[in-house]
Amino acid sequence: MESLFSAMMIVLLLVSFSCLTSSEARSSNNGNITVKWDLMNWTPDGYVAVVTAYNYQKQRSVPGWTMSWRWTKKEVIWSMVGAQTTEQGDCSKFKFNIPHSCMRKPIVVDLLPGTPYNQQIANCCKNGILKPGLESSFQLAVGNAGTSSKTARMPVNFTFTAPKQQYICGPTKNVRPTRFITADKRRMTRAMMTWNITCVFHKAT
């Protein structure tokens, strides 16, 4: 009797284990879009960040991305390189320097490949097209933000969309800061902070 019971327990364990591994395999097979924010330096009223979207989907090309998020304080985007927001919003309380966007939920789109070089950064300006295995970046200067790793607040409610594609994004996570290696490979530098968001394909629309 006892040996029958333990044999059943072993079978149950094996079954639940194989279910677990197959569902893990399925989610990693489908891949994801990871959006990474690297805070490169602090400024008098905020920070400069490089945002990079990685298409880790093996099969699915993104035909033209749009990203959005919600600020949790009174952040504004002073300037942007390699992408732009679709709306400036109400910047009427700024008199001298006018921000690129004062929206609480900015919507960001990519620039075209022919963008003037002084408005480009590496890996930018692909009209939002993101082939499998590739990445796309833009840079933004954020003001009215925290100016240290204790006070900077991550954007929340991140969305990533493309024509006929719907994605679901997870929470913004504060992760181990990215390390960068200089072109001559003789020096490592580090982002001040790094935030990751992972989005998975939900359905075709």
List phi, psi (to 5°) of 192. Answer: -70, -40
Which pairs from 116-121 meet CB under 8 Å and 24+ separation? 119/81, 119/82, 120/81, 120/82, 121/50, 121/81, 121/82
Q: Which is nearer to ligand NAG, 58 or 164 (CB)?
A: 58
Token pair in block for residue 131: 């082939």
Grouping H, G, I as helix, E, B as strand and the rest as coil, residue 144 is coil
- Asked if residue 100 binds ligand NAG (CB under 6 A), the reply is no
CB of 137 to ligand NAG, least distance (A): 11
Residues 129-188 that bind ligand NAG (CB under 6 A): 156-157, 171, 175-176
Q: Which residues pair with 203 in a beta bridge?
A: 166
Q: Which is nearer to ligand NAG, 97 or 153 (CB)?
A: 153
- Asked if residue 71 binds ligand NAG (CB under 6 A), the reply is no
Binder to ligand NAG among 30, 40, 45, 56 (CB under 6 A)?
Answer: 56
Q: Are 137 and 67 in contact (CB under 8 A)?
A: no
Binder to ligand NAG among 34, 84, 136, 165 (CB under 6 A)?
Answer: 34
Q: How many residues bind ligand NAG (CB under 6 A)?
A: 14
CB of 63 to ligand NAG, least distance (A): 20
Binder to ligand NAG among 54, 65, 78, 158 (CB under 6 A)?
Answer: 54
List phi, psi (to 5°) of 188. Answer: -105, 140
Among residues 64, 204, 84, which one has the least CA distance to residue 131? Answer: 64
Judged by the rule CB under 6 A, the positions of this chain that interact with ligand NAG are: 28, 31-32, 34, 36, 54, 56, 156-157, 171, 175-176, 196, 198
